[in-house]
Structure 1
Amino acid sequence: MWNWFQKSQKELEVKESQVAHLIAAKNVGKPVWTPRQFDQLAEEGYQKNVIVYRCVSLIAGGIASVPWEIHENGETLCAHPLEKLIRAPNPNQALARFMEALSGYLMLSGNAYIEMVQVEGEPLELHLLRPDRVRVIPGISGVPEAYEYRVGSFSRKIPVNPLNGASTILHLKTFHPLNDWYGMSPLEAAAHAIDQHNAVGGHNLAVLQNGGRPSGALILPSGTLTSSQRQALKEDFRDFYQGGPNAGNIFVLEGEWDWKELSISPKDLDFIEGKYLSAREIAQAFGVPAMLVGVPGEATFSNYREARYHLWEDTILPLLESIKTELNRWLVPCFASQGKLELTYDTDSISALTPRREGHWNKIAQANFLTINEKRQAVGYAPIEGGDRV
Structure 2
Amino acid sequence: MGAVSRIRSWFTGRPVTEATPAAGMEGANAAPRRGYEYGAAALSATNSQQAVSESQERLQILTQLHQAYLTCPWVSAPVDLIARTVTAGGLQIVYQTEEAGKKVPAEPPPVQRLRRLMRWVNPREDMVQLLRQTIIDLKLFGDAYIEVVRIAGEPVALYTLDATTMSVICDQHGEVTGYVQQLDGIRKVEFEPDEVIHISLDAPRGGIYGVSPAQKALLPVTAWLFTEATIKENFRQGDPPRVHVDLGSAQDTEVQQWREQYRVNNLGPKAVGTPVITTRKGEVNILDPRKVMDYLAASKQLRDEIIATFGVPPAKLGIIESGNLGGGTGEAQDKTFRVDTIIPVKALVLEKLNYHIVMLGFQIMDWAWEFGEIDYRDSKVVEEIRDMRLRNGSMTRNQYADEIGNPPVDGGDVAVLVDRQNIVLWNDMAAMSKAMIAAKTKGSNLELDPEADPEEPTEFQKAEKPAPPQMIAPPAAPGDDGTDPNLSPDDRPGGKNDATQGTPPKESVYGRDVRKLNESWERAYRVRRRQALNELPKVGP
Identify whether the pair has TM-score above 0.5, normalized to the shorter chain: yes
- 1:298-345 CA distance string (max 9 Å, x none): 4434433332232122211221121111111111021144x6121112
Residue 13 to residue 207, structure 1, CA distance change in 2 (3 Å) = closer
Task: Determine the C-alpha separation between the residues in 2 that align with 1:91 and 1:302.
Answer: 45
> Matches of residues 172-183 of structure 1 in structure 2 within 5 Å?
172-183=199-210
User: Which one of 325, 332, 336 corresponds to residue 306 of structure 1?
Assistant: 332
Q: Which amino acid aligns with 1:19?
A: G
Residue 77 to residue 60, structure 1, CA distance change in 2 (3 Å) = farther
Whether 1:100 aligns to 2:132 is yes
Question: For the Cα contact (< 8 Å) 1:137–1:145, is it kept in 2?
Answer: yes
Q: Which amino acid aligns with 1:150?
A: Q
User: Which one of 246, 251, 274 corresponds to residue 226 of structure 1?
Assistant: 251
Task: Determine the C-alpha separation between the residues in 2 that align with 1:350 and 1:201.
Answer: 38
User: Which one of 294, 310, 316 corresponds to residue 286 of structure 1?
Assistant: 310
Aligned residues: 368
Tell me: higher relative CO, structure 1 or 2? Use CA pairs within 8 A at least 6 residues apart: 1
> Residue 288 of structure 2 aligns to a residue in which SS?
coil
Q: Which amino acid aligns with 2:227?
A: V
* Number of the residue aligned with 2:344: 318
Task: Determine the C-alpha separation between the residues in 1 that align with 2:205 and 2:384.
Answer: 41
Task: Determine the C-alpha separation between the residues in 2 that align with 1:220 and 1:275.
Answer: 37
TM-aligned CA deviation for residue 148 of structure 1: 0.2
* Number of the residue aligned with 2:61: 37
Whether 1:237 aligns to 2:253 is no
* Number of the residue aligned with 2:190: 157
Q: Which amino acid aligns with 1:276?
A: K
In structure 2, list runs of 5 or more residues that go unmatched.
1-13, 16-26, 98-103, 416-425, 427-541
Residue 227 to residue 22, structure 1, CA distance change in 2 (3 Å) = closer
> Residue 93 of structure 1 aligns to a residue in which SS?
coil
* Number of the residue aligned with 1:271: 295
Task: Determine the C-alpha separation between the residues in 1 that align with 2:73 and 2:40.
Answer: 39
Higher Rg of the two aligned structures: 2
TM-aligned CA deviation for residue 274 of structure 1: 2.2
In structure 1, list runs of 5 or more residues that go unmatched.
6-10, 161-166
* Number of the residue aligned with 1:17: 33
Whether 1:142 aligns to 2:174 is yes
* Number of the residue aligned with 2:149: 117
Task: Determine the C-alpha separation between the residues in 2 that align with 1:228 and 1:178.
Answer: 62
> Residue 168 of structure 2 aligns to a residue in which SS?
strand
Task: Determine the C-alpha separation between the residues in 1 that align with 2:29 and 2:213.
Answer: 37
> Residue 262 of structure 1 aligns to a residue in which SS?
strand
Whether 1:258 aligns to 2:283 is yes
Question: For the Cα contact (< 8 Å) 1:309–1:353, is it kept in 2?
Answer: no
- 1:78-107 CA distance string (max 9 Å, x none): 982222322442221123322221111111
Question: For the Cα contact (< 8 Å) 1:279–1:295, is it kept in 2?
Answer: no
Q: Higher mean Cα deviation, 188-197 or 73-82?
A: 73-82
Task: Determine the C-alpha separation between the residues in 2 that align with 1:273 and 1:147.
Answer: 46
Q: Identity of counterpart residues, as a percentage?
A: 18
Question: For the Cα contact (< 8 Å) 1:312–1:353, is it kept in 2?
Answer: no
Task: Determine the C-alpha separation between the residues in 2 that align with 1:330 and 1:363.
Answer: 44
> Residue 351 of structure 1 aligns to a residue in which SS?
coil
TM-aligned CA deviation for residue 366 of structure 1: 8.6
TM-aligned CA deviation for residue 18 of structure 1: 1.9
Q: Which amino acid aligns with 2:123?
A: P
User: Which one of 39, 43, 49 corresponds to residue 72 of structure 2?
Assistant: 49
Residue 290 to residue 151, structure 1, CA distance change in 2 (3 Å) = same
* Number of the residue aligned with 1:212: 239
The TM-score with structure 1 as length reference comes to: 0.79
> Matches of residues 166-205 of structure 1 in structure 2 within 5 Å?
167-205=194-232
Task: Determine the C-alpha separation between the residues in 2 that align with 1:358 and 1:142.
Answer: 53
Residue 345 to residue 49, structure 1, CA distance change in 2 (3 Å) = same
Q: Higher mean Cα deviation, 122-131 or 190-199?
A: 190-199
* Number of the residue aligned with 1:64: 87
Residue 343 to residue 304, structure 1, CA distance change in 2 (3 Å) = same
Residue 102 to residue 14, structure 1, CA distance change in 2 (3 Å) = closer
Task: Determine the C-alpha separation between the residues in 2 that align with 1:205 and 1:327.
Answer: 45
C-alpha RMSD of the superposition:
3.9
Task: Determine the C-alpha separation between the residues in 1 that align with 2:354 and 2:389.
Answer: 30
Question: For the Cα contact (< 8 Å) 1:288–1:311, is it kept in 2?
Answer: yes
Residue 21 to residue 64, structure 1, CA distance change in 2 (3 Å) = closer
Q: Higher mean Cα deviation, 79-88 or 187-196?
A: 79-88
The TM-score with structure 2 as length reference comes to: 0.59
> Residue 188 of structure 1 aligns to a residue in which SS?
helix
